[in-house]
Amino acid sequence: MKTLLTADDLREGVIRMSLEIVDAYGDCPLTILGVLTGSIVLMADLIRHIDIPLRVGVVQARSYRGAATRRGPLVINSDLMPDIRDRDVLVVDDIFDTGHTLVELTRLLDDFMPRTVRTAVLLRKQGRQEVALQPDFIGFEIPNEFVVGYGLDYQDEYRDLPYVAVLEEDDLR
């Protein structure tokens, strides 16, 4: 593996992103929805730096399973999600690749009648987007490579790395 973003890079990016979020929302109460499972590390770090009234919840959205490195059908489970009716909602996800997950998820969230829905992602892969939607808050732009760490996984491994690394061909099994 090759380190792409160090723990220090990530810390600085999360602090910068949290300041942008606070600036955008002011003192308005906010509901943060983390997209399981990849966003949990980012969400935990973000909420420590967002100094406005918060509610936190999760929603499960998966388009990759097992050893897959290519997108499959999106499966969404909103059972763990708090009530978001008339709330400002910030969806936090680990990576913006093709963009299909966030488009479908934000479309689903509209059915729950939030006041607003914005999105925040740790990483946006360059050159991969297939949708018009762009995240409102972005931690880092990265090249089109398969990355792990800081919540991102390959076959449910590497989520615990305190940095983001590129998996080499030999690492993919």
Mean pLDDT value of segment 39-54:
95
The Cα diameter of the chain in Å comes to 48
Identity of residue 151: G
For residue 48, pLDDT over 90 is answered with: yes
- Structure confidence at residue 75 (pLDDT): 66
Tokens representing residue 122 in the block: 């740790």
Q: Render pLDDT for 57-103 as a digit per residue (tens, 0 to 9).
A: 999 876 655 554 555 666 677 788 899 999 999 999 999 998 888 99
Architecture per CATH, 8-141: 3-Layer(aba) Sandwich (3.40)
Catalytic residues: 97
pLDDT at 62: 67
The pLDDT-based confidence of 40 (bands split at 50, 70, 90) is very high
Q: For residue 72, count CB atoms less than 10 angstroms from its CB and return exposed for 0-12, middle for 13-18, buried for 19 or more.
A: exposed
Closest CA to 108 of 95, 123, 91: 91
Side-by-side strand order, sheet with 164-166:
2-5, 164-166, 147-148
Q: What is the three-state SS of 31-92?
A: EEEEEECCCHHHHHHHHHHCCCCEEEEEEEEECCCCCCCCCCCCEEECCCCCCCCCCEEEEE
What values do phi and psi take at 31, rounded to 5? -105, 120
- The pTM is what? 0.89
Q: Are strands 147-148 and 137-142 parallel, antiparallel or unpaired?
A: unpaired
pLDDT digits (tens, 9 = 90+) for 103-161: 989 988 999 999 999 999 999 999 888 899 999 999 999 999 999 999 999 988 999 99
